[in-house]
């Protein structure tokens, strides 16, 4: 597999350079992708937990407003 391409643009001159990422850039890129994936998983888990909690409230005949009132 070849390294992803990085594009560098000099806004003053308009010069554009495209080249493969070096090892340091590739390591940062891969870590950023892992962080984004972990963030997506955390958001999914949070949404699933919220849905589960809301389903339990509904099963008890309560709303989220009822819970807020109970917890004050």
Strand runs labelled E in 5-53: 5-9, 16-20
Contact between 60 and 43 (Cβ < 8 Å): no
Predicted TM-score (pTM) of the model is 0.61
Total number of domains constituting the chain = 1
pLDDT at 1 (0 to 100) = 64
Question: What range defines the domain where residue 27 resides?
Answer: 5-71
Contact between 29 and 7 (Cβ < 8 Å): no
| Mean pLDDT of the region 44-49 | 96
> Does residue 37 or residue 67 have the better pLDDT?
37
How far apart, in whole angstroms, are the C-alpha atoms of residue 44 and residue 56?
Answer: 18
Dump pLDDT digits (tens) for 2-32.
Answer: 889 999 999 999 999 999 999 999 999 999 9
| Mean pLDDT of the region 46-72 | 88
pLDDT at 7 (0 to 100) = 96
């Amino acid at each position: 597999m070849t390294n992803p391409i990085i594009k560098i643009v000099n806004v003053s001159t308009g010069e554009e350079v495209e080249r493969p990422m070096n090892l340091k850039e590739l390591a940062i890129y891969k870590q950023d992708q892992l962080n984004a994936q972990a963030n997506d998983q955390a958001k999914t888990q949070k949404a699933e937990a919220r849905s589960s909690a809301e389903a339990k409230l509904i099963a008890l005949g309560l709303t989220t407003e009822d819970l807020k009132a109970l917890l004050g």
